[in-house]
Amino acid sequence: MENFSLIGMISIITAGLTIAIGSIGPAIGEGRAVAQALTAIAQQPDEAGTITRTLFVGLAMVESTAIYCFVVSMILIFANPFWDYTVSQAGG
Amino acid sequence: MENFSLIGMISIITAGLTIAIGSIGPAIGEGRAVAQALTAIAQQPDEAGTITRTLFVGLAMVESTAIYCFVVSMILIFANPFWDYTVSQAGG
Amino acid sequence: MENFSLIGMISIITAGLTIAIGSIGPAIGEGRAVAQALTAIAQQPDEAGTITRTLFVGLAMVESTAIYCFVVSMILIFANPFWDYTVSQAGG
Amino acid sequence: MENFSLIGMISIITAGLTIAIGSIGPAIGEGRAVAQALTAIAQQPDEAGTITRTLFVGLAMVESTAIYCFVVSMILIFANPFWDYTVSQAGG
Amino acid sequence: MENFSLIGMISIITAGLTIAIGSIGPAIGEGRAVAQALTAIAQQPDEAGTITRTLFVGLAMVESTAIYCFVVSMILIFANPFWDYTVSQAGG
Amino acid sequence: MENFSLIGMISIITAGLTIAIGSIGPAIGEGRAVAQALTAIAQQPDEAGTITRTLFVGLAMVESTAIYCFVVSMILIFANPFWDYTVSQAGG
Amino acid sequence: MENFSLIGMISIITAGLTIAIGSIGPAIGEGRAVAQALTAIAQQPDEAGTITRTLFVGLAMVESTAIYCFVVSMILIFANPFWDYTVSQAGG
Amino acid sequence: MENFSLIGMISIITAGLTIAIGSIGPAIGEGRAVAQALTAIAQQPDEAGTITRTLFVGLAMVESTAIYCFVVSMILIFANPFWDYTVSQAGG
Amino acid sequence: MENFSLIGMISIITAGLTIAIGSIGPAIGEGRAVAQALTAIAQQPDEAGTITRTLFVGLAMVESTAIYCFVVSMILIFANPFWDYTVSQAGG
Amino acid sequence: MENFSLIGMISIITAGLTIAIGSIGPAIGEGRAVAQALTAIAQQPDEAGTITRTLFVGLAMVESTAIYCFVVSMILIFANPFWDYTVSQAGG
Amino acid sequence: MENFSLIGMISIITAGLTIAIGSIGPAIGEGRAVAQALTAIAQQPDEAGTITRTLFVGLAMVESTAIYCFVVSMILIFANPFWDYTVSQAGG
Amino acid sequence: MENFSLIGMISIITAGLTIAIGSIGPAIGEGRAVAQALTAIAQQPDEAGTITRTLFVGLAMVESTAIYCFVVSMILIFANPFWDYTVSQAGG
Amino acid sequence: MENFSLIGMISIITAGLTIAIGSIGPAIGEGRAVAQALTAIAQQPDEAGTITRTLFVGLAMVESTAIYCFVVSMILIFANPFWDYTVSQAGG
Amino acid sequence: MENFSLIGMISIITAGLTIAIGSIGPAIGEGRAVAQALTAIAQQPDEAGTITRTLFVGLAMVESTAIYCFVVSMILIFANPFWDYTVSQAGG
């Protein structure tokens, strides 16, 4: 019965740390991009449209790295092939 | 009876660390964005509306990474599939 | 009797570290936002109202990440499902 | 008799570290806000009232994160539910 | 039965850490590039097209390093040759 | 006899580290505030009164986080409830 | 049967960490280069061609260090001489 | 005889580290305040009196955090209640 | 049979870490050089030839430190004298 | 005979580390103050007297934290109450 | 047979880490020098010859520290006196 | 015979680390002071005498912290009271 | 036979780390000096001779610290008194 | 025979680390001083003599901290009193 317990513990730790560590970079990167966008709008109000559009495309790309982490985290909690196999073994 | 105890301890630690570490990035990123927004408003008061709107959209995206962490943290405490399985095993 | 003791120790450590680590980011982020707000007011006193309003909305969002940590910390001390289960087991 | 001793040691360490680590962020954040307030007053003496008021509201919010840590620290020393339970068990 | 369990745990940890650590650099790098792009557009609105185009090519290259990490992470979870071999051994 | 010895050692370490770590943030924060106050006085000598007053209120708030640490440190050395209980147990 | 299991675990960890750590430097370096390129284009739109060309050659050289890491990572997963030898030994 | 030896060792380590770590922050903070004071005097020689007075009050507050550490350090070496109790126990 | 297994594991770890750690410095250094080159071209378009030439010679020298790491990494995987000797011993 | 040996070792390590760590802050803080003093003299040669006097008072206060460390270090080597007690016990 | 195996493992690790760590400093230092050279050429095109010559002499000196590391790394792999002695002992 | 051996080893490590760590701060602090002195001389050549004199007094105070470390290091190697006592015990 | 093996391993590790760590500081320091030299030449081409001469003397002094490390590293590999003594003991 | 072997290993490690760590500070500090000297010469060529002289005195003082480390390192390798005593004991 030990195998699935160990796999479970490891999955919990990894799921949590993946999204915790993985949110540091995107949060700081996005904060920086947003901050600069506001400066840019203040400096060139007539280009607010172009700036906002470029900002959102950029934020989407930065957010994508956070989403990779979230996806891996969710896979480890709800669709973990190693856990499925070990549980099926324990039940077999 | 050891299995569920270990899973429980690991879940507690991970839930706490996930939201603790995961709040550093967004807090700093949002602080930066807010700070720059205030500078921008002071510099171009006429654009306060556009700036505030862009700021809130940006803050929402930064906050989203903190919310990913909070969601994982709550899942680990209140809807933890590994804990449910282990408890059901221990009770079986 | 060991199980509840271990769960208890882990809950104490995690509750403390969660709020301790989780208060670093928001405190620095808020300090930065407040500092910039004062500069902005000094630079554009006529916009003090708009600046203060935007500041408070921003501070509320930054504070929210600290509150997530505080909530998790309080849950671990006063409404910990793992502790409840283990104590009920030990008493059973 | 070991259980309450371990819980006690862990509570002491956590109480100390929580307030120690938790005072770094607020102290630096407040120092920054105060420093910027003085610059702002020097730059715009006529707005000293508005600046000081905004500063104190801001300081209160930053201080709040330090107070969360202090509250958790005091709970762990003087109103620790895990300690109470363990001592009651040891005395039972 | 221990072999596949160990390989599984290691794969989980590595998959999570690879994408978590690997998302820090690209997120910060992209945030910087986007931030500078907005400054550039504000400074030279007439070149918005060239700037945006160069930005997207650059973001694609930065994103590529995040994708390398995601690819390795997915290979470790869903197409792991070491796991396949060990499971086939355990089943043989 | 081991219990009170362990509690004692842990109290000594924690008391020392709490005030040591807890003095870093306030010292740097206060140094920054004082430094900026002097610049502000040099820049606007006529406002020396307002600046000094705001500085002292600000320093008091920053110092408060150091005092939280000192209080916890003194409680752990001279009014430690865990030590009192353990010694009373050992003497019982 | 232990040898190939250990070699496998080590290969998994190293493959993941190599590309994870190895993507930090290039991502930050490229982000910086792209950011500066956009500033340069905004400053000297007439030289956009030369700047873009130099940027891409530079990005290629920076990317090369990420590719070294990816190559080593892929070799460790799919063409690992140590694994091949150990498996052939285990099968012999 | 082991108890007082352990308490003694821990007291020595903690006394040293408390003042060592605790002197980093104040030294850097005071250095910064002094440095800025000199700039302020050079910039506004007529206010040298006010600046010097404010500097000394500020230095006293920063120094206070170093003195907290020194006090704790001295208490641990010369008036350590845990050591006194343990020695009295050993002699009893 | 243990000797070659240990040498193999160590070679894998070292090969991966050597190129991973060794790519951080060059990638950042090259990114900086490229970024400055673009600024220089924007500032002095007439010297684009000289600047590009100097840049490529410089990049080559920076790249050389990355190549030293790659060479050591490849030697450790494909031409490792310690592995060859240990395997020949094991086979002898 | 082990007790005094352990106390001795711990005293040596702590004495060294106390002054080593404790000299980092003051040295950097003093270097900064001296550097700024020279700038101030160059900027306002007529105030060289006031600047030098303020500098020396400031340096004395910064140096005081280094001296606290040196005092603790010397106490631990030449007037260590724990060592004296342990040696007297060993000789008793 | 253990001795030469241990010496071998240690040599592999040290050879890799020496060049990996040793390439960080030179790569960053050279990148900085090259970046500044390009700025200098852009600022003073007429001195391109003198600047380039000084740059190359400087790069050679910086590179020399990387080469020290590479030399030590190669000595440890191909001309290791400790390995030679241990192997000759093992073969004797 | 173990006692003096342990004391010896600890003294060697501590003597080395004390001066190694203790030289970082002073070296950086002095480098900064010297660098600023040269700027000051270039800016105000007529005050070269005052500047140089203040510099040397300042350097002497910074150097004093390095000398504290060197003194402790020499005491630990050549006049170590703990070593003398232990050797005399071993010889007794 | 263990003694010389241990001394050998320690010598290998220390030789590698000494030059690896010891090359970081000089490489960065020299890179900075060279970078500034080029700026200085660009700013004052007529003083190129004096600047280059001062640069080379300075580089020689910085390089000297790298050479200290290289010397110690070479002594540890090729003229290690501890190794010589241990081998002579082992052979005796 | 173990005693001298342990003392030897410790001496080797400490000798290497002392000079390796101890060269970081001086190298960076000297690099900074040299860099500033070149700026100063470029800015005030007529004072090249005074600047160079002050630079060399300053470099000598910074170098002195590196030399303290080198001296301790050499003492530990060639004139180590602990090693001499232990060897004489072993030979006695």
**Distance of alpha carbon K51 from its chain centroid, rounded?**
25
Higher pLDDT, N29 or L92: N29
Report CA F8 to chain centroid distance, whole Å: 21
Residue A58 identity? G
Contact E21 G21 (CB under 8 A): yes
Average pLDDT on J24-40 reads: 93
Find the residue in I nearest to G10 (Cα): I9
- pLDDT for position J12: 93
CB nearest H9 (choices: J10, J18, J66): J10
Please report the number of interchain residue pairs, chain L to chain N, with beta-carbon separation below 8 angstroms: 170
K17 touches K72 (CB < 8 A): no
Reference J41, options H51, N44, L50; nearest CA is: L50
Please give the Cα distance from H53 to H49 (Å, whole number). 6
The closest of I37, I61, I60, E68 to G56, measured between CA atoms, is I37
> Residue F55: is its pLDDT beyond 80?
yes
Residue F92 has pLDDT above 70, yes or no: no
What pLDDT score was predicted for residue G1? Answer: 47
Q: Are residues J34 and L47, on separate chains, in Cβ contact within 8 Å?
A: no
If one counts the domains in chain J, the total is 1
Q: Which residues of A touch E77 (CB under 8 A)?
A: 72, 75, 81
Quickly state the pLDDT bin for D91 (edges 50, 70, 90).
Answer: low
pLDDT above 60 (res D13): yes
pLDDT over 60 (residue K1): no
ipTM above 0.90, yes or no: no
Average pLDDT for I28-44: 92
Distances (CA, A) of G60 to E69, G12, G29, G57, K35: 18, 28, 11, 5, 17
- Residue D38 contacts residue F33 (beta carbons within 8 Å): yes
Average pLDDT over residues M15-38: 93
Phi, psi for residue N23 in degrees, rounded to 5: -95, -10
Scanning every residue of chain N, which has its alpha carbon at the shortest distance from the alpha carbon of L1? N3
Residue bearing tokens 């440190």: F73
CB F32 within 8 A of CB D31: yes
For residue J33, the chain H residues in CB contact (below 8 A) are 31, 34-35, 38
Flag whether pLDDT at L91 surpasses 70. Answer: no
Tokens of I2: 């243990």
Q: What gap in Å lies between CA M1 and CA L67, rounded to an integer?
A: 42
Helix crossing, M24-43 with N24-43: angle to 10°?
A: 0
Choose from C34, C44, C80, C83 for mutation: most chain D CBs within 10 A: C34
The confidence score (pLDDT) of residue D1 equals 47
Mean pLDDT, rounded, for F2-31 = 90
Q: Find chain N residues with C-beta within 8 A of L87's C-beta.
A: 85
Mutate to test the interface with H, among F7, F30, F82 (most CBs of H within 10 A): F30
Question: Are the CB atoms for M15 and M76 separated by under 8 Å?
Answer: yes
Whether F51 and D70 lie within 8 Å, measured CB to CB: no
* Averaged confidence pLDDT in chain F: 89
Enumerate neighbours of H (3 or more CB pairs within 8 A): F, J
- Token duo for residue L25: 């701060």
pLDDT (tens digit, 9 = 90+) per residue, L11-52? 999 999 999 999 999 999 999 999 999 999 998 898 888 999
pLDDT at N3 over 80: no
Q: Please give the residue of chain K at the shortest CA–CA distance from M12.
A: K11
Task: Look at A33 and E28 and tell me if their CB atoms are within 8 Å.
Answer: no
Dist CA G67 CA G26 (whole Å): 10
* Distance in angstroms (rounded) separating the CA atoms of residues D29 and D26: 5
What ranges in chain K are assigned the alpha helix state H?
A: 2-22, 24-43, 48-78, 81-91
Distance (Å, whole) CA F57 – CA D37: 12
* Contacts L45 to N, Cβ<8 Å: 44, 46-47, 50
More confident call, E60 vs H1: E60
The per-residue pLDDT of chain B, averaged, comes to 89
Contact (CB, 8 A) for D19 and C18: no
Q: Do D64 and C66 touch (CB under 8 A)?
A: yes
Average pLDDT rounded to a whole number, residues F8-15: 92
The minimal CB distance from I18 to the residues K16, K38, K42 is found for: K16
Domain span at F77: 2-91
SS3 C69: helix
- Cβ-defined contact of J18 to H19 (cutoff 8 Å): yes
Chains N and I touch (3+ CB pairs under 8 A): no
Residues of chain H with pLDDT under 50: 1
- Alpha carbon distance, N-terminus to C-terminus of chain D: 12
| Residue range K35-55: mean pLDDT, rounded | 91
Distance from CA of E29 to the nearest CA of G (A): 4
- Is pLDDT at G17 greater than 50 in this prediction? yes
**C-alpha to C-alpha distance for D83 and D72, rounded to whole angstroms:** 14
SS3 B79: coil
Distance from the K81 Cα atom to the nearest Cα atom in chain M, whole angstroms: 7
pLDDT given at position F22: 92
Burial of B92 (0-12, 13-18, 19+ CB in 10 A): exposed
The span from the CA of M51 to the CA of M58, in Å, is 10
> Lowest mean pLDDT: which of F83-92, J76-85, M74-83?
F83-92
Q: Which range is least confidently modeled, A29-38, C29-38, F32-41, M78-87? A: M78-87
Of J13, J16, J33, give the one whose Cα is nearest residue J70: J16
Please provide the DSSP assignment of L14-68 as one string. Answer: HHHHHHHHHTHHHHHHHHHHHHHHHHHHHH-GGGHHHHHHHHHHHHHHHHHHHHH
Average pLDDT, integer, range L60-76 = 93
Chain C residues whose beta carbon lies within 8 Å of the beta carbon of residue D25: 23-28
Q: How many CB contacts within 8 angstroms connect chain J with chain L? A: 169
Residue range C60-84, pLDDT digits in tens: 999 999 999 999 999 999 999 988 8
Smallest CA–CA distance, residue K53 to chain M, in Å, is 10
Side chain identity, residue A56? F
Subunits in contact with chain A (3 or more CB pairs closer than 8 Å): B, E
Instruction: Supply the DSSP symbol for E45.
Output: G
Over 90: is that where the pLDDT of E88 sits?
no
pLDDT for the residue numbered B92? 56
Please list every residue in chain A whose beta carbon sits closer than 8 Å to the beta carbon of residue E63.
Answer: 61, 64-65
Q: How far is J63 from chain L (nearest CA, A)?
A: 8
Asked if A82 contacts A7 with a C-beta cutoff of 8 angstroms, the reply is yes
* Mutate: best of A12, A18, A77, partner E, most E CBs <10 A: A18
**Low-confidence stretches of chain A (pLDDT beneath 70):** 1-2, 91-92
Evaluate whether L19 touches N69 at the Cβ level (below 8 Å). yes
Report the alpha-carbon distance of residue B30 to residue B52 in Å, rounded: 13
Mean pLDDT for the stretch of residues N61-76: 93
CA atoms of L92 and K69, how far apart (whole Å):
49
Q: What is the pLDDT of residue G38?
A: 92
- The pLDDT tens digits for J50-63 are 999 999 999 999 99
- What pLDDT shows up at residue B1? 47
CB-CB under 8 Å, A38 with B40: yes
Tell me the C-alpha distance between I76 and B52, whole Å: 56
Give chain I positions within 8 Å (CB) of G73: 16
Asked if pLDDT for residue M3 goes beyond 80, the answer is: no
The amino acid present at K30, given as its one-letter code, is: E
DSSP code per residue over H31-65: HHHHHHHHHHHHH-GGGHHHHHHHHHHHHHHHHHH
Q: Which of C19, C20, C34 sits opposite D55 (nearest CB)?
A: C34
For A89, other C-beta atoms within 10 Å of its C-beta total 16
Q: What is the DSSP string of M2-60?
A: HHHHHHHHHHHHHHHHHHHHHTHHHHHHHHHHHHHHHHHHHH-GGGHHHHHHHHHHHHH
Contacting subunits of E (3+ beta carbon pairs below 8 A): A, G
Contacts of H12 in chain J (CB under 8 A): 7, 10-11, 14, 76, 80, 82
Q: Which two tokens stand for residue D60?
A: 């209160």
Q: Answer yes or no: is pLDDT of E1 > 50.
A: no
Domain with E18 in it: what CATH number? 1.20.20.10
